[in-house]
Structure 1
Amino acid sequence: MMRARVIFGGLLLVVVVLVFQVVRKEQVLAHGTSVLLELAPVDPRSLMQGDYMVLDYAVSREARLADDSGSGPKEGRLVLQLDENGVGRFVRHDAPGTPLAPGELLLRYKVRGHRVRLGAESFFFQEGHAERYEQAKYGELRVAGDGSSVLVGLRDAGRQPL
């Protein structure tokens, strides 16, 4: 009887954590700021692998280059400035206590293997639709005030949804 309670308690905890994560992502989708991030050039032969596309953002590369020493924090937030088209440009790494200027927003990152990762590094699509997404020039993210983000879709050079 005690064993069954432990098992069901563990299952309940897992379900509660999963529901919390889903609700949090749904809040970002509903209330987050839409940001377009330019996709950095990637070798087209390795871009498509099955039914997903590996994404590399220009701001990720710029943020990595801004940390010349390579000994910067392994996670934190980037400060982006939105242009008139809603495209985010890297400004600086966030420093605690530094206020944001008008038009700036935060975006969380983690450094893994000398790469700045924004959390949305892959875009999955239906098998057989690779040609449709080969024209992608921007990744569209919804970003919450705390810097958490969710990948919404991809856009072409004219910033139209694919």
Structure 2
Amino acid sequence: MKRGAVIFGGLALVLVATAVLVVQKETVLARGQTVLLQLAPVDPRSLIQGDYMVLDYAISQTWREGLEAPQEDGNVVLHLDAHDVGAFVRYETPGTPLAPGEVRLRFRVRNSRLRLGAEAFFFQEGHAERYARARYGELRVMDNGTSVLVGLRDENYQPLGRAVK
């Protein structure tokens, strides 16, 4: 009897944790501010996983160039232009207020690489040419820097990936 209770308790814990994560992401989608990040060149193919685009963001260039490279996880501060495109301003120092037009975006340092959360965009097989025009990743960002990738946009800031009619 104890073994069954442990198994069902573990299963319930996993389901509750999964539900909490889903609610958190849905909250970011519903309430987050739209931020566009310019994409760096990528390769949109994977034979094992199907068609997808590995995302690399232009603001990561400051990391690769060694400008103020952080050693631990934190937030990067971006300034948004008239099209909501984020440009690197600085790495956030706790307690420093944001200026008007600035947002924070959470990052993690993994394997000596700056990770902004959304590193791949999966799409239906055979639609690679549609996404080849992608120039911006569209994210929803909360005040604390938590983000979710919601789509890709072209050079005219128009969403890509609408359903095929």
Same fold (TM over 0.5): yes
Match of 1:89 in 2: 87
Question: What is the Cα deviation at residue 60 of structure 1?
Answer: 1.6
User: Number of paired residues?
Assistant: 157
What's the secondary structure of 2:65's corresponding residue? Answer: helix
RMSD: 1.3
What's the secondary structure of 1:161's corresponding residue? Answer: coil
Normalising by structure 2, report the TM-score: 0.90
In the alignment, is the contact (CA less than 8 A) between 2:44 and 2:51 conserved in 1?
A: no
Question: What is the Cα deviation at residue 37 of structure 1?
Answer: 0.3
Specify which of 38, 41, 45 is matched with residue 48 of structure 1: 45
Question: What is the Cα deviation at residue 111 of structure 1?
Answer: 1.4
Identity rate, percent: 61
What's the secondary structure of 2:24's corresponding residue? Answer: helix
More helix by share: 1
Where in structure 1 do 4 or more consecutive aligned residues deviate above 6 Å? none
In the alignment, is the contact (CA less than 8 A) between 1:61 and 1:116 conserved in 2?
A: no
In the alignment, is the contact (CA less than 8 A) between 2:39 and 2:137 conserved in 1?
A: yes
Q: For residue 5 of structure 2, what is the amino acid of its counterpart?
A: R
What's the secondary structure of 2:21's corresponding residue? Answer: helix
Counterpart mapping for 1:11-50 below 5 A: 11-42=11-42, 46-49=43-46, 50=50
Match of 2:115 in 1: 117
What's the secondary structure of 1:153's corresponding residue? Answer: strand
Q: For residue 41 of structure 1, what is the amino acid of its counterpart?
A: P
Task: Give the distance between the partners of 1:80 and 1:48, measured in 2 at CA.
Answer: 30
Question: What is the Cα deviation at residue 64 of structure 1?
Answer: 4.2
In the alignment, is the contact (CA less than 8 A) between 2:36 and 2:137 conserved in 1?
A: yes
Structure 2: runs of 5 or more not aligned: 161-165
Match of 1:151 in 2: 149
